[in-house]
């Protein structure tokens, strides 16, 4: 592999940080997420990360209570 080819392959790799997790969504949630991704032109991971941050912030501040058992 030439130096320029190696450099190009490094650039094409996504720059990911953090711990990967797998989640399973219902058909309805997956469709809603896909619609939001298309209309907002934002990555799915970005939408999910922001939503999770907001949920955890609300739980921590006491603004949101989950049903018993969750």
Task: Supply angle C-alpha 59, 21, 13, rounded to 5.
Answer: 125
Instruction: Say what the pLDDT of residue 14 is.
Output: 72
**22 Ramachandran zone, left/alpha/beta (phi>0; psi -120 to 50):** beta
Please tell me the total count of domains within the chain. 1
The answer to whether the beta carbons of residues 47 and 40 sit under 8 Å apart is: yes
Which of 38, 47, 43 lies closest to 15, judged by CA? 43
Q: For residue 49, give its domain range.
A: 25-63
Kindly report, residue by residue over 15-52, the tens digit of the pLDDT. 778 899 999 999 999 999 999 999 999 999 999 999 99
Q: Would the pTM of this model clear 0.75, i.e. be above it?
A: no
Given a cut of 80, whether residue 11 has pLDDT beyond it is no
Helix %, strand %, coil % of the chain (to 5): 60, 0, 40
Residue 41 within any structural domain of the chain: yes
Residue 58 within any structural domain of the chain: yes
């Amino acid at each position: 592999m030439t130096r320029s080819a190696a450099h190009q392959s490094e650039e094409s790799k996504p720059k990911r940080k953090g711990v990967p997790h797998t989640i399973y969504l219902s058909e309805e949630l997956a469709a809603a997420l896909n619609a939001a991704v298309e209309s907002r032109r934002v990555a799915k991971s970005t939408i999910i990360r922001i939503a999770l941050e907001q949920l955890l912030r609300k739980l921590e501040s006491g603004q949101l209570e989950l049903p018993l058992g969750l």
